[in-house]
């Protein structure tokens, strides 16, 4: 079991001057609160809290997030309340824990991809603070790593949820390490046969692949002899799930997977990256069409790197990535690295922090403006900007996104025009409400309809969505002529 000192050491490694006493207090609090609880693995529950906090420490998050990571299940699973946490710690920590607890209550039930997208949006916008999502991802990662203790049926449900909901969110936030871990564990549960076949194939060629990579590395090191900065080479393992997706895209069987050598070079500066790339291309013939410059044109989730594929010694194919250390960190830690970069290193004046946060949002927005289709990522940023949107469930657990202040009539028209036109009443969370009732995020709404019922012109006074308004007007203005 990890003890508290490991957590404290990790924190000191990036915040040497900050008082870490709060982490010790959060640890003791979680220990007492979960005292009698065991995980399904029969380990003390506290281990789960520690592992969650450890992931957050690896992401180098701020002190309050680490404490909230330790405390993330105390409101859900013990007698502790939001008020207790405000008193014992501070409002920020209490709010983070509350945010995670709220997410806990959304039970993802629909594996349908269209619904999955709505769920992802809902999760992101319900969180209010992006750190809530980071804590939730760390929580899920440990749950996945210990999932073997659950019965098969739960394993499959949770794996599906992780693959459709949490892994894409980690991807959107640029957190590739967490994303790949979540994907590989889920994939093994959902399709163990193919998972093991791919794994076996990778193992068979492992030593030969290592040798080839060593050869390539020493050739490139020689060519880059004059280079003065530090160069780090890594032979990066391919993730099983990404190999599987490539198989699907190229319509290939496990036997047909080509053994690809994957090499990554980390350099000091951006210009060095291009120098290295030039040297690679001068020495080995590139595979046509394989070069992509994600440094000049970053991906939507801020990913940056140079990608190329070349025919190396003995005609083996090598996938090579070149990037700077900072790009590499951002790639592993995603949005969290950016956060740290903006928030943590500046002097700890409150103004400075706020300024940094605002400039981060502004920067991201300018960068979004240049994109052709920023819709999805913009939606996730609404969290920061507090552009209000609420998510309402149908009794069958589908989700509809509506403007804040929306009423059952707006909801009815969001489901179907005919449902709106025939609406005569509504139940929210199983209680009858008036048609002008103001829905709240997470409500379940059921519309009562009657055949031959018609919209009422009074509805126009309270509906909030343009869709409902125009549909009502259309019926009120009578059948169209001609």
Residue found by looking up tokens 């076996």 in the block: 200
To the nearest whole angstrom, how small is the minimum distance from the Cβ of residue 20 to Mn ion? 22
E strand or H helix at 302: none
Report the residue number, 70 or 392, with the smaller CB distance to Mn ion.
Answer: 70
Q: How many Å apart are CA 235 and CA 217, to the nearest integer?
A: 9
Q: What is the C-alpha to C-alpha distance for residues 286 and 368, in angstroms, rounded to an integer?
A: 32
Residues 355 and 84: their CA atoms lie apart, in Å, by: 31
Contact predicate 449/424, CB 8 Å: yes
CB atoms within 10 A of CB 292: 15
Find tokens 């998972």 and name the residue.
195
User: Whose CB is nearest to Mn ion?
Assistant: 139
Q: Which helix (H) or strand (E) holds 400?
A: strand 399-403
Nearest distance in Å: CB 48, Mn ion: 6
Task: Name the residue nearer to Mn ion (CB basis): 26 or 266.
Answer: 26
- Give residue 70's Cα distance to chain centre: 20
**Measured from the CB atom, is 62 or 73 closer to Mn ion?**
73
- Nearest to Mn ion of 82, 474 (CB atom): 82
On whether the CB atoms of residues 68 and 97 are closer than 8 A, the answer is yes
- Using alpha carbons, list the distances in angstroms from residue 313 to 76, 205, 266, 281: 57, 17, 22, 13
Q: In the complex with Mn ion, which residue's Cβ is closer, 30 or 402?
A: 30
Strand partners, 234: 264
Residue 13 or 148: the one with the smaller Cβ distance to Mn ion is: 148
Which of 137, 406 has the CB closer to Mn ion?
Answer: 137
* Residue number with CB closer to Mn ion (134 or 257): 134
Residue 362 exposed, middle or buried by CB count within 10 Å (0-12, 13-18, 19+): exposed
Q: Which of 177, 230, 194 is nearest to 59 (CA)?
A: 177
Give the whole-angstrom CA distance, residue 125 versus residue 262: 37
Contact (Cβ atoms closer than 8 angstroms) between residue 280 and residue 335: no
30 contacts 48 by C-beta, under 8 angstroms: no
CB of 15 to Mn ion, least distance (A): 24
> What is the Cα Rg of the chain in Å?
26
User: What is the Cα 147 distance to its own chain's centre?
Assistant: 19
Which residue reads 């959902």 in tokens?
190
- In angstroms, what is the minimal distance from the CB of 146 to Mn ion? 11
User: How far apart (Å, rounded) are the C-alpha atoms in residues 389 and 368?
Assistant: 20
Is residue 73 part of the annotated active site? The answer reads no
Pick the catalytic residue: 9, 28, 35, 76? Answer: 76
Distance of alpha carbon 467 from the chain centroid: 31
Q: Is the dihedral of CA 32, 100, 329, 247 positive or negative?
A: positive
Quick one: 51 or 62, whose CB is closer to Mn ion? 51
Q: Which residue bears the tokens 């990522």?
A: 377
**In the complex, minimum distance from the CB of residue 325 to Mn ion, in angstroms, rounded to a whole number:** 32
Nearest approach in angstroms of CB 466 to Mn ion is 40
Residues that bind Mn ion (CB under 5 A): 73, 139
CB 82 within 8 A of CB 176: no
Least Cβ distance, residue 104 to Mn ion (angstroms): 8
Catalytic annotation present for 384: no
Catalytic residue among 77, 84, 191, 438: 77
Neighbours of 84 (CB within 10 A): 16
Cβ of residue 183: shortest distance to Mn ion, in angstroms? 20
Which residue numbers are catalytic?
76-77
């Amino acid at each position: 079991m990890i003890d508290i000192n490991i957590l404290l050491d990790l924190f000191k490694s990036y915040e040497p001057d900050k008082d870490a006493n709060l982490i010790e207090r959060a640890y003791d609090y979680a220990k007492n609160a979960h005292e009698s609880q065991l995980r399904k693995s029969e380990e003390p529950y506290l281990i789960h809290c520690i592992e969650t906090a450890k992931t957050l420490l690896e992401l180098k998050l701020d002190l309050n997030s680490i404490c909230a990571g330790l405390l993330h299940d105390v409101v859900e699973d013990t007698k502790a309340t939001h008020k207790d946490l405000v008193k014992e710690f501070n409002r920020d920590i209490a709010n983070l824990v509350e945010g995670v607890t709220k997410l806990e209550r959304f039970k993802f039930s629909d594996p349908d991809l269209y619904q999955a997208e709505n769920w992802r949006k809902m999760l992101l916008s319900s969180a209010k603070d992006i750190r809530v999502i980071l804590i939730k991802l760390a929580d899920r990662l440990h749950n996945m790593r210990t999932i073997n203790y659950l019965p098969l049926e739960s394993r499959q449900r949770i794996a599906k949820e992780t693959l459709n909901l949490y892994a894409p969110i980690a991807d959107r936030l640029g957190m590739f390490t967490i994303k790949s871990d979540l994907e590989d564990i889920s994939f093994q549960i959902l399709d163990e046969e193919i998972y093991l076949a791919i794994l076996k194939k990778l193992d068979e060629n492992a030593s030969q692949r290592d040798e080839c990579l060593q050869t390539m590395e020493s050739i490139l090191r020689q060519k880059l002899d004059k280079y003065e900065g530090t160069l780090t080479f890594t032979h990066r393992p391919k993730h099983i799930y990404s190999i599987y997706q490539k198989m699907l895209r190229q319509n290939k069987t496990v036997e047909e997977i080509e053994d690809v050598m994957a090499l990554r070079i980390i350099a000091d500066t951006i210009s060095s990256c291009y120098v290295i790339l030039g040297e690679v291309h001068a020495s080995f013939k590139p595979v046509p069409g394989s070069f992509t410059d994600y440094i000049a044109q970053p991906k939507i989730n801020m990913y940056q790197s140079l990608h190329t594929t070349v025919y190396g010694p003995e005609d083996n194919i090598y996938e090579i990535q070149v990037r700077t250390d900072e790009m590499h960190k951002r790639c592993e830690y995603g949005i969290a690295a950016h956060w740290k970069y903006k928030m943590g290193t500046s002097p700890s004046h409150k103004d400075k922090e706020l300024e940094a946060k605002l400039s981060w949002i502004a920067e991201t927005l300018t960068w979004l403006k240049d994109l052709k289709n920023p819709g999805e990522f913009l939606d996730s940023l609404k969290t920061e900007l507090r552009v209000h949107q609420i998510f309402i469930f149908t009794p069958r657990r589908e989700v509809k996104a509506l403007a804040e202040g929306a009423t059952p009539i707006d909801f009815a028209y969001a489901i179907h025009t005919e449902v709106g036109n025939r609406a005569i009443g509504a139940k929210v969370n199983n209680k009858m409400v008036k048609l002008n009732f103001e829905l709240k995020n997470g409500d379940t709404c059921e519309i009562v309809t009657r055949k031959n019922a018609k919209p009422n012109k009074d509805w126009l006074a309270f509906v909030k969505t343009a869709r409902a308004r125009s549909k009502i007007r259309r019926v009120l203005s009578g059948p169209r002529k001609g």
